[in-house]
């Protein structure tokens, strides 16, 4: 069975492959289709952005496809950066620096935040959405060097560490992406015909 993941982000792709490793599927990415590009994220919600991406890759390849849109919502910033999290600044380092700067002087109890991940799946038999969320806080400074994106500043109270301080396997059992993909995984195990219907036998 073959599934096309609508990303060329190596970190995200590895997380997705690790989380879905219990499924008997081959996961391709946009790296396998160098001429295929994703549309601009111009939706007004995670759901819209995830659907834009998954529809495009399925339309051009015909392969059952998976995409996600993820964002960090900070309570003290009115939910920003939200769906603009990946466009908040030019690089991961600059995004973290900007966010910490905006929260300068904000006390711990007002630094509540949540990570949101919406996964979209599309095949010739329809579209499905799965949403995962994790509540936490924005740390006062970067902690840890694991992960990517905002991981070093997103603190989970129940484990007393940031994502950036966790080994990959631990994060992949707790993260927002894990929660969304776990729902997808459970659903797909009951609907494996949606992947078996693919006749793709490419790379």
pLDDT of residue 160: 96
The arithmetic mean of pLDDT across residues 102-107, rounded, is 97
pLDDT band at 193 (very low <50, low <70, confident <90, very high): confident
Whether the link from the prior residue into 81 is cis, omega within 30° of 0, is yes
pLDDT of residue 120: 97
Q: Is 69 a catalytic residue?
A: yes
30-48: per-residue pLDDT in tens?
Answer: 999 988 888 778 889 999 9
Its CATH class, for the domain covering 2-196, is alpha beta
* Residue 200 pLDDT exceeds 80: no
d(CA 94, CA 136): 21
pLDDT of residue 202: 44
Which residue in the list 69, 92, 151, 193 is annotated as catalytic? Answer: 69
pTM over 0.75: yes
The pair of structure tokens assigned to 147 is: 């992960």
């Amino acid at each position: 069975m073959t599934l096309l993941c609508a990303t060329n982000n190596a970190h995200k792709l590895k997380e997705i492959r690790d989380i879905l490793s219990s499924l008997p599927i081959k996961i391709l990415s946009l790296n396998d289709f160098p001429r295929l590009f994703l549309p601009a994220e111009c939706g007004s919600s995670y759901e819209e952005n995830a659907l834009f991406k998954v529809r495009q890759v399925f339309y051009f390849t015909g392969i059952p496809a998976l995409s996600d849109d993820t964002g960090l919502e900070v309570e003290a910033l009115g939910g920003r950066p939200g769906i603009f999290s990946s466009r908040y600044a030019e690089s991961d380092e600059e995004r973290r620096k900007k966010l910490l700067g905006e929260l300068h002087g904000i006390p711990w109890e007002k630094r509540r935040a949540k990570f949101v991940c919406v996964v979209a799946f599309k095949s010739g038999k329809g579209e499905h959405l799965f949403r995962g969320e994790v509540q936490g806080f924005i740390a006062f400074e970067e902690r840890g060097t694991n992960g990517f994106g905002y991981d070093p500043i997103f603190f989970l109270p129940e484990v007393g560490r940031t994502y950036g301080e966790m080994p990959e396997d631990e994060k992949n059992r707790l993260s927002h992406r894990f929660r969304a993909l776990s729902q997808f995984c459970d659903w797909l195990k009951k609907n494996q015909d949606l992947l078996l219907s693919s006749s793709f036998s490419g790379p």
